[in-house]
Structure 1
C-alpha cells in the first residue's frame, strides 16, 4: 500500500536583495552620509526580489514498510522536503498525500518546551502525536530507559545537553508507534552506543510494518538500514530506487578528486634540473559496476618522471599521508642505475587494507639511497569511502588501515552445569 505520494511538489522562497544608496565605505563617509540625509531628501534603498526554489517538481511514491534513505549534499532540499512531509510548512505547488500518523525528529529539541521537565515533555510530545494518555503511560518506562535520562527526568529540558535532547526526542518518536517515522540526521549527535540503539530501533520499527524516512550523511548507515534511497540535488529528485544503486550514482557524482595528473613537457612540470614529474595516476581496480573507491577497492599507483642525470642510481620513495599530515606508510622502489630519459614505476595497494578517509600521495626522487633530488608533495589527493555488511554500528572505524585478516574464534569447552 502506498503511504506517501508526492506529485510535482515545489517550495519557493523570495530572497530580498537590498541595494543601499549610501556611498560611504569608511566610518567617516557613512557618518557624513547620514548627516547629509538629515537636510536633504533621502533616496529610498532599492530592493530587488529573487525567486529561490528549494524544491522543484519532486514526485515519488513510498510503500508501507519501506525504509527510505534520503541523500544529497547540503542545500539539496532534503530537510525542506521532510518539513513538508511533517506538515511544518506547506508546498508552494504540488500535492502530498500521507496515509498514517507521522512522527518527526527533524532537529534537536523539536517540539520540546524548554521550561517543562523531561517527564512533562514526554506527555506533551505524545499528545502532539495524537496518543492517548494511557498509551503514553504504557511506553513511558521504555522511553526513559532508551533515552538514558532517568536521573534528569524531572529537570527542565532547557538544562539538557544536545545529546540528551536528541536521545529523548528520538525515544519519544520511536516508541509511540507512529505509522511513519521521519528522522533527520539523528546520528549526527550521540555516541556509538546511541547510534546502535537508534538504528536497531528503526530496523525493529520497519519489520512491524512502519515506514521510515531517514536523512543522513552517514552513507554506511543508510546502506545498512534502508531498502530504498532517494538522491536529491539542488531541489530536484535525481534518482530513487534500490539503495546500493542510488548510493553508487551519488558517490560517482560527488567524486571531487582528480585521480591523474600529467605534464606534456618538462618545462611546465614540477621539479628541478635533475628530475621533473611527468605523470602520476591512481588506477582503481573496480569490481563489477562499482564507480567509486571504497575500502574493498584495490588500486594501482603509476609514476613517470624525466631523469636528467647520466648513469645515476635512483629510486622513488612514496609516502601515503592523511590530510592532517600523518604518514600512513612509506614504500620505496629498488635503487637502480638509470640514463637520461623517462623512468617509470608502479605499485598496487591491496583491497581491504586502507580505512575510509581522505589521503594524499607524496613522492621523493632519491639518489644513491640517501640524497633527495626533489620532493613532490601531495601530487594526488583522493577519497576512500566506507563499506560494511552485517553490522548495526556505523561510527567511525578507528585507525588509518583496516586490513582484512583471518581471525578465527572457536568454542574450546562447554560449561558443565
Structure 2
C-alpha cells in the first residue's frame, strides 16, 4: 500500500485501523520513503518532520513554480500566507498579525460563546441529532462570517466556495474548472466586501486589515482577499473536524468524558491530545530548494515532500504509548498546528472555538453515544480527518 493509495482510500473509511497500522509500519521501516510512481517523497517520523518545519530555507512552502497559471487562483493566492517563503512570509505575517493577533482572538470569546449557545438552543430538547451538521460545521461557518462582517446567511456560501480548494480528489480538467469557478465567486464576493468597508469601515476583520500598516506598508485588496481566503479554508472545515474529532474520541472513552465534565481545567489538555491523535490536517507538502539529506536519504532539489502529521504525532520515540489517548499526557507538544515560522496563524482561534464547543457540550450532555448504525460520514478530502455526518444520542443535563 502506497502513500497515494492511503490518501485516496483508507483515510476516509469510518474505521481507520488499517491507515494507522500502515503509518506505523512506514514509520518503523521507512521513516523517509520515495514512491517512484508518483515521484513523491513521504515523511513519517517525528524527528524528520520537525527538521523540515525547522528548515524553511531548504523546504519551501511556495509551490507557485509548479502551479499552472490561472487568473482566479493567482489573485486568490497573492495573500496566501501558507504558501509564502521568506522574507516575504515574515513581512506579510508581521503586518496581518497587527490585527489578527492572539489578543484580538481572545476578545472574541463572548461573541463565539453566544453563537455556539444559539446553535445548541436550536437543537433544544431533542435526544438525537446530527452533531456535525447541526453544530460542529455551522459553528465555525457563523464565526468566520461574523468576524469578516459578512451576513450570517452568506456563511454557507463562503464555506462552499472555500471548500473547493479541499475538493482534492478530482484533479482532472473538470475538477480544476469547478474549483476555479468557486474561487472566482469567492474572490468577487470578497472584493465587493472590501469595497464596502473602504467606503464605510465597521468593527470587523476586513476593516481592520484595510487599516493595518507596518513601516508605511498596507495590504493591497488582492492580498486581503488571499488572507481571508486562507482563513476560510483553514478556519471552517478544520475547526468542524476538531469538534467532531473530540466527540469521536470521547465516544471510546466515556469515563474520561465524565472526568473532564467534573474538572473543566482538563479541557485545554484534552483538546491538545485530540489534535495529537487526530490532527484536522493529516499531511502537508513542501518542496526542496536544494539537494538535502533527510533520515539518511538524499533528496534532490525541486522534490515534493509530503509530511504525514498524523504519523509524526504517533511516533513512540517521542510520545510514550503513542497510540493511546491520554488525558494527562505530559512531554513534547504535538505538531498538529505545525511548528516554526509557519505555525498555524489560526491556531488560537481553533483552540478557542474548540474549548467553547467542548465546554458547552459538557454542560448540556452528561452522556452521549454515537449512532454508528445510522452511519458516520467522514470528510471527503485527501488531507483532512474529521466527520461530515455524526449522528448522536444524548442524555440532557
The question of a shared fold, defined as TM-score above 0.5 by the shorter chain, is answered with no
Q: Please give the TM-score of this superposition, normalised by the length of structure 2.
A: 0.26
Whose helix proportion is higher, 1 or 2?
A: 2
Radius of gyration: which is bigger?
1
Whose strand proportion is higher, 1 or 2?
A: 1
Identify the structure with bigger relative contact order (alpha carbons < 8 Å, sequence gap 6+): 2
